[in-house]
Amino acid sequence: MLASQKDFNNAVSQVKLLKEDPGNEVKLKLYALYKQATEGPCNVPKPGMLGFINKTKWDAWNALGSLSKEAARQNYVDLVSRLSASSESPSPEAPAADRKQPESDSLVVTSEDGITTIRLNRPAKKNALTTQMYRDIIAALQAASKDESAITVLTGSGDYYCSGNDLTNFTHLPAGGLEEMARSAAALLRDFVNCFIDFPKPLVAVVNGPAVGISVTILGLFDVVYATDRASFHTPFSHLGQSPEGCSSYTFPKIMGSSKAAEMLLFGKKLTAQEACAQGLVTEVFPDGTFQKEVWARLKAYSKLPPNAMRISKQIIRNREKEKLHAVNAEESSVLRERWQSDECMNAIASFLSRKVKL
């Protein structure tokens, strides 16, 4: 479900309470989304050259094209929520030693040689993502976006990269029951994926083994994906009674074409590392024996490149897609919220938990 009018009104009030000025670019974006959400697509005449400020505002509004009022309202609410969170986070440029450590040791964050590494560290459970790990990854990405490192890496400990969402997350029912669980999981999913969409520095996945579910879908939001030849890429959403997330319903068809994407996202076809590379999801595959050595040597060299140039180049490559990606993320999260309450999904999870099925 997209943000309600009430969520939107709250966000409009929240903007006035921001502790830090978000800067002109963001204010312009807020203005454009507000106009789109309240009046719909821009159909007023373009101001003349002399009204420079009005023309800039008109351009920003007009750039939203035919984005629906509902999607604009959602994007506005998401943007305000990110601004509120970052204005409450610790001071920028916090050196690595002062970085707030994750709540649990299932995530290890280190910073060295210009590279911040976020390592999934739950090898006995194939690095399945607990609710706390999603929160810790969000915090780690927010910190990495402001630290002094040039590049950020996500990788895993042990033989797996990540087995996706921890299916036991679904067994911790809150007081509000299944509906409340689905609502809060959808909100967490949206915040989690938004952090990848907005991440401002080069983001690299070092895929050290098989990858499942959300750890595969978000790869479309990374800048570079290096994989060992032992890796595989599996999105068994239909098997689980679920639907795609991580913006993969948009990025996968773009990356590999709609029929290859459908084989993965509808039928759960598992790709080898070589296949994923041939289809553009993976940048390069390395022999497992030399994977770590070769990849880290390369990343260390890249991390010495001028960081501002890399950030700006990433902005040019990614920025025009951001509004679209936020809208896709909102829609996918809302569809999943319904799916998680379906019998198909409940049966599939019960089946995994009772060990009847292995994907």
User: Does the protein bind ligand LGGBLMCM through residue 130 (CB under 6 A)?
Assistant: no
If phi > 0 it is left, if psi is from -120 to 50 it is alpha, else beta; for residue 285 that is: beta
Q: Return d(Cα 91, Cα 87) in angstroms, integer.
A: 9
User: Does the protein bind ligand LGGBLMCM through residue 214 (CB under 6 A)?
Assistant: yes
Q: Tell me the C-alpha to C-alpha distance, in Å, between residue 128 and each of 42, 71, 166, 169, 180.
A: 45, 31, 5, 10, 22
Nearer to ligand LGGBLMCM, 22 or 241 (CB): 241
User: Does the protein bind ligand LGGBLMCM through residue 167 (CB under 6 A)?
Assistant: yes
User: Does the protein bind ligand LGGBLMCM through residue 245 (CB under 6 A)?
Assistant: yes
Q: Which residue from 116, 117, 165, 279 is in contact with ligand LGGBLMCM, where contact means CB under 6 A?
A: 165
Q: Which of 242, 200, 243 is nearest to 221 (CA)?
A: 200
Q: Which residue from 102, 156, 164, 202 is in contact with ligand LGGBLMCM, where contact means CB under 6 A?
A: 164
Beta carbon of residue 133, minimum distance to ligand LGGBLMCM (angstroms, whole number): 10
User: Does the protein bind ligand LGGBLMCM through residue 240 (CB under 6 A)?
Assistant: yes
Q: Return d(Cα 33, Cα 62) in angstroms, integer.
A: 10
Q: Return d(Cα 126, Cα 232) in angstroms, integer.
A: 13
Q: Which residue from 126, 190, 260, 339 is in contact with ligand LGGBLMCM, where contact means CB under 6 A?
A: 126
**In terms of C-beta density within 10 A (0-12 exposed, 13-18 middle, 19 or more buried), how is residue 167 classed?**
middle
Which residue stretch of 87-95, 140-148, 159-167, 312-320 sits at the interface with ligand LGGBLMCM (rule: CB under 6 A)?
Answer: 159-167
Q: Distance between alpha carbon 213 and the CA centroid of its chain, in Å?
A: 13
Residue that the structure tokens 């991390």 belong to: 303
Beta carbon of residue 205, minimum distance to ligand LGGBLMCM (angstroms, whole number): 15
Which residue stretch of 56-64, 94-102, 196-204, 236-244 sits at the interface with ligand LGGBLMCM (rule: CB under 6 A)?
Answer: 236-244
User: Does the protein bind ligand LGGBLMCM through residue 359 (CB under 6 A)?
Assistant: yes
Q: Which of 46, 224, 79 is nearest to 152 (CA)?
A: 224
User: Does the protein bind ligand LGGBLMCM through residue 120 (CB under 6 A)?
Assistant: no
Residue that the structure tokens 């000025």 belong to: 21
Binding residues for ligand LGGBLMCM, rule: CB under 6 A, are: 125-126, 128, 134, 163-168, 185, 188-189, 212-214, 236, 240, 242, 245, 352, 358-359
